[in-house]
Amino acid sequence: MNIGVINESSKIENRAGLTPSSVSLLVEKGLTVYVQAGTGLKAGYTNEEYVAQGAKIVFTKDEVFGRSDIVLNISPLDEEECKLVKKDQILFGFHHLAVYRKCNIEELLKKKVTIIGYEIVQEENEVLPFIESLSEIAGQMCLAISGHYLQTSQGGRGVIIGGVVSVPPVTAVVVGSGVLAKSAIKSMLGAGAHTIALGRYMDRLRELEEITSGRLITLFASKYNLARMTKVADILIGAVLRPGERAPIMITKDMVTTMKKGSLIIDLAIDQGGCIETSRLTTLEQPTYVEEGIIHYCVPNITSSVSRTSTKVLSNLVASCLLEIGESGLEKCLRENKSLARGVYVFRGKIAKQNIAERFGLDYKDIFSSL
């Protein structure tokens, strides 16, 4: 079986699909790995390091797609990449199909592809292994981002997160109660911020209170409470995750207008459309903009800015999946590995997620009836 790793640097993506270490593991098991030249440079891995572990370097994206049974990408495929996809290929990556363009989905369906989204791979206990691992990184990054953009020189309120003697800490409001929210909450509490979480699942809010020993204030995410807490927030973190779906708008523009000038919004749900009405995509080169006097940080896949750590995490997770497919074939692997099967958006050209099919008005076929 041939595995291909594309270079995504043109999309301002710093992470790589595999590390040289994972390449060596796959090659040892008899798999062939094609790596596009320059793929790992932003994560600190040279072409020579990949070659030393058995990878074959190719020089165009077309070659990667042309030679591979499985193609690894990080960011969703763009229109040109969709055209390069070959019939019956397996595509691994953060696909976020809910925010794809319909014409791109239709093109991929015609090619009878199988699409597996890292973001919806889900274990029996509802843990999302890819999301949870990267959420740990994203939560820590929220702290660094907040500390930077709240500085006066960045147009922020000129406050320090943890406060000092006689000066109270900032108020951090986290919207959400899942894995993304949990990581952000832990980081903010750890830095000494007065932290408030709003969610709609009482069991999750109860769990958050327990793991933070009661230091976290929790509220039900009603419109009234969201509006009230938005007013007091120095840092507002949108961390609503609905696997495989577009994020719901939780914070309206009217709520944003009531925030203190120079406050900061970090929308961690921007990969799935954003959960704050005033959010729009930004990049690592231009990560922020100001609207209604509020700094907005809306970079998708923010873990790309710590590319080496993120690449190692993703590579460790996906390598085990690739080994299973290489050993037993795709269909047997999906029958035996229900967690991976839950991550299938499209199977052999048929949409396997009902919400995606309904969103785009396309046919749906249950993955488990196909195996």
**Is residue 286 domain-shared with residue 316, that is, in the same domain?**
no
Which residue of the set 95, 96, 194, 296 is catalytic?
96
From the list 350, 339, 321, the residue with the least C-alpha distance to 125 is: 339
Residue 271 bears catalytic tag: yes
Query: Which single residue is written with the structure tokens 């020993």?
Result: 213
What confidence category does residue 24 fall into, taking pLDDT thresholds of 50, 70 and 90?
Answer: very high
Query: Do 143 and 259 have their domain in common?
Result: yes
Rounded to whole angstroms, the Cα distance separating 288 from 360 reads 31
Last residue of a domain, one of 263, 281, 300: 300
Residues 292 and 155 placed together within one structural domain of the fold:
yes
* Closest listed residue to residue 149, CA positions, set 9, 297, 366: 297
User: How far apart are alpha carbons 40 and 303 in whole angstroms?
Assistant: 15
CB environment 212-237: b (16+ within 10 A), e (fewer):
beeebebbebeeeebebbbeebbbbb
Phi, psi torsion values for 180, nearest 5 degrees: -65, -45
pLDDT at 83: 94
CA 120-123-127 angle, to 5 degrees, is: 75
Same domain membership, residue 357 and residue 273: no
**CA pseudo-torsion sign 58, 62, 63, 69:** positive
The answer to whether residues 131 and 154 touch, using CB atoms and an 8 Å cutoff, is no
CATH no. for residue 260?
A: 3.40.50.720
**Cβ neighbour number for residue 270 with a 10 Å cutoff:** 24
Answer yes or no: do 161 and 291 share one domain. yes
In contact, 158 and 150? CB cutoff 8 Å: yes
Question: Ramachandran region of residue 274, left (φ > 0), alpha (ψ -120 to 50) or beta?
Answer: left
- Read off the pLDDT of each residue in 325-340 and give the average, rounded to a whole number: 94
36 lies in the same domain as 108:
yes
Catalytic residue among 95, 194, 271, 296: 271
Q: Which residue has the tokens 């029996």?
A: 124
**96 annotated active-site:** yes
Going by pLDDT thresholds of 50, 70 and 90, the confidence category of residue 99 is confident
Report how many domains make up the chain. 2
- 224 with 338, same domain: the answer is no
Q: Summarize pLDDT for 226-275 with one digit per residue, the tens.
A: 999 999 999 999 999 887 788 999 999 999 999 999 999 999 999 889 99
Please, which pLDDT band fits residue 173 given cuts at 50, 70 and 90? Answer: very high
Residues 270, 149 share a domain = yes
Output phi, psi for 320, to 5 deg: -65, -35
What tokens appear for 73 in the block? 């990408």
Quick one: pLDDT at residue 135? 87
- CA atoms within a 13 Å half-sphere pointing along the CA-CB vector of 341: 16
What is the rounded distance in angstroms from the CA atom of residue 329 to the CA atom of residue 333? Answer: 6
Does the pLDDT at position 105 exceed 80? yes
Please write down the long-range contacts of 253-259, taking CB distance under 8 Å and 24 or more positions apart: 253/277, 253/278, 253/292, 254/227, 255/226, 255/227, 255/230, 256/230, 256/291, 256/292, 256/294, 257/292, 258/227, 258/230, 258/231, 259/230, 259/231, 259/233, 259/292, 259/293, 259/294
Same-domain check for residues 292 and 346? no
Residues whose CB falls within 8 Å of the CB of residue 63, separated by 6 or more in sequence, listed in order: 34, 36
How far apart CA 65 and CA 67 sit, in angstroms, is: 6
Are 152 and 280 within one domain?
Answer: yes
| Alpha-carbon span 47 to 190, nearest angstrom | 39
Residue at which a domain ends, from 253, 278, 300: 300
- Which of 283, 300, 317 finishes a domain? 300
What pLDDT does 52 receive? 98
Give me 18's structure tokens: 């595999």
Q: Is 41 exposed, middle or buried (0-12, 13-18, 19+ CB in 10 A)?
A: middle
- The enclosing H or E element of 50 equals helix 47-52
Q: Give the pLDDT band of residue 311 (cuts 50, 70, 90).
A: very high
What is the C-alpha separation between 211 and 213, in angstroms, rounded?
6
> What Rg, from alpha-carbon coordinates, does the chain have?
21
CA 337 to chain centre: 22
State residue 139's pLDDT score: 87
Is residue 150 located within the same domain as residue 295? yes
Residue 317 pLDDT > 80, yes or no?
yes
Q: What is the pLDDT of residues 136-162, one digit of tens each?
A: 899 889 999 999 999 999 999 999 999
Q: Give the residue numbers spanning the domain of 48.
A: 2-125+307-370
Residues 18 and 89 in one domain: yes
